[in-house]
Amino acid sequence: MPTLTVISATAVPDHLRGALTRWMLEVTPELYVGTVSARVRNELWSAVAASIGDGMAVLVHPSDSEQGFTLHTAGSRRRRLIDFDGLSLIAFHQQGKETANRL
């Protein structure tokens, strides 16, 4: 069953932006929203992760988690997903520091 999917893709190659707009609507620059099946969502995310280059991307889609959605990130060395008591959070790593700040 198709579900609402959101992808934020910053500084990605043009061919990747083109691939995303085949399935999703670019509502603002670098923000894509669409209702796609899980198979299409997974294929799009694989394409994003494989060709992200120096860019960064975040995928958000509904799930049966406590928050009601699942997060995925690709391409960012400064951000990583952490599980905090069953909640998905994005930790921001500051250069020169060993620890990440909590949101």
Which domains does the chain carry?
Answer: 3-78 (3.30.70.240)
Give yes or no for residue 56 having a pLDDT over 60: yes
Give yes or no for residue 102 having a pLDDT over 60: no
Give yes or no for residue 53 having a pLDDT over 80: yes
Q: How far apart are the first and last CA of the chain?
A: 33
- Residue found under tokens 């399935």: 23
**What was the pLDDT predicted at 75?**
84
pTM: 0.79
pLDDT (tens digit per residue) in 63-99? 888 888 988 888 877 777 888 888 888 887 766 555 5
CB-based contacts of 70, cutoff 8 Å, min separation 6:
60, 61, 62, 63, 88
| Percentage of the chain lying above the pLDDT 70 cut | 89
- Name the average pLDDT for the chain: 85
**What was the pLDDT predicted at 86?**
80
Tokens of 94: 């500051």
Give yes or no for residue 100 having a pLDDT over 70: no
